[in-house]
């Protein structure tokens, strides 16, 4: 009888005793890889060899599975400087996936919601692909092809001055929140601003070679584009675009000017 009480006593106390060995650390979930590319860009007017969309360090995409409620973020693993890259993250549950870029954009397969920046920086020699609104559907994350919802306007400038900024006023909303109906292929700004301000403080224009300044614009016709260029000494140049500019999704369009004419 005493033996039985003794055993019972130990069984009660053992769970309360501190562990005499370290628990094995929890294993991190194995990361998955998504290989992402974009449809080829068309070029309406030649704007130079730097008119190549490319991913950059720090870019990320979001991936939503058809059996998950929350998209997973995949960050760039390799492919900076190219239009085809691999992204790494934890794949969401599902058999069919919706991929969006930038990673803060959201898409449910019917409506894409995102934001276009009002403040941007001049970048060379490649296009800021990670800033473009892109989306695609796939059942195989090893082969993801994304469609671009906006176009790029390249403003090519010549001159002999150092710049401070280039501001594009489109005459209608081009920055801020937007939504895109995928079936109807309708792009709509939700309020927003008419301008995009580009920091060009590290750019020096050349007399014999144009330097491009790239602006991401919603698709559509633009009849009232004006450019305000401020150089490093505070002098301002005003350019009014006389012709209607047509911007198509996934397309480069270019304008060229020499500041000595203004």
Degrees, nearest 5: CA angle 139-250-196 = 120
Kindly state the helix (H) or strand (E) to which residue 261 belongs, with its residue range: none
Sign of CA dihedral 163, 169, 174, 175: positive
d(CA 124, CA 252): 15
CA–CA dist 131, 156 (Å, integer):
20
Q: Tell me: the pLDDT tens digits for 137-172?
A: 999 988 888 888 999 999 999 999 999 999 999 999
Residue 38's pLDDT band (cuts 50, 70, 90)? low
Q: What is the pLDDT of residue 20?
A: 41
Specify the pLDDT at position 109: 84
Average pLDDT across the chain, whole number: 83
DSSP assignment, residue 162? B
Measured between alpha carbons, how far is 132 from 139 in angstroms, rounded to an integer?
23
Host H or E run for residue 163:
strand 163-169
Q: Give residue-wise pLDDT tens across range 206-217.
A: 999 999 999 999
SS3 176: strand
Does this model's pTM top 0.85? no
Taking the C-alpha atoms of residue 78 and residue 34, their distance in angstroms, rounded to an integer, is 11
Which pLDDT score, from 0 to 100, does residue 41 have?
A: 53
Quick check: 85 pLDDT over 70? yes
Under the banding of pLDDT at 50, 70 and 90, the label for residue 81 is confident
Quote the distance between the C-alpha of residue 209 and its chain's center: 28
Give me the domains of the chain, ranges plus CATH numbers.
32-261 (2.60.40.3540)
């Amino acid at each position: 009888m005493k033996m039985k009480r003794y055993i019972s006593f130990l069984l009660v106390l053992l769970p309360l005793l501190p562990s005499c060995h370290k628990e094995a650390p929890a294993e991190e979930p194995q990361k998955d890889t998504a290989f992402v590319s974009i449809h080829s860009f068309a070029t309406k007017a030649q704007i130079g060899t730097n008119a190549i969309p490319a991913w950059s360090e720090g870019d990320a995409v979001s991936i939503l599975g058809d059996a998950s409620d929350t998209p997973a973020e995949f960050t760039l693993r390799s492919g900076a400087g190219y239009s085809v890259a691999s992204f790494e993250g934890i794949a969401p549950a599902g058999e069919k996936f919706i991929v969006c870029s930038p990673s803060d954009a959201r898409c449910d397969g019917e409506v894409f919601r995102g934001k276009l920046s009002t403040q941007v920086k001049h970048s060379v020699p490649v296009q800021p692909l990670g800033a473009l609104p892109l989306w695609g559907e796939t059942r195989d994350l090893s082969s993801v092809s994304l469609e671009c919802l906006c176009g790029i306007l390249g403003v090519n400038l010549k001159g002999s001055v150092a710049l401070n900024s280039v501001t594009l006023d489109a005459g209608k909303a081009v920055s801020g929140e937007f939504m895109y109906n995928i079936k109807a292929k309708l792009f709509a700004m939700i309020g927003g601003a008419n301008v995009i301000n580009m920091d060009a403080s590290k750019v020096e224009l050349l007399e014999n070679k144009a330097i491009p300044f790239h602006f991401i614009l919603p698709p559509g016709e633009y009849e009232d584009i004006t450019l305000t260029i401020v150089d490093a000494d505070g002098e301002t140049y005003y350019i009014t675009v006389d012709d209607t500019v047509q911007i198509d999704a996934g397309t480069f369009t270019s304008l060229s000017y020499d500041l000595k004419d203004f």
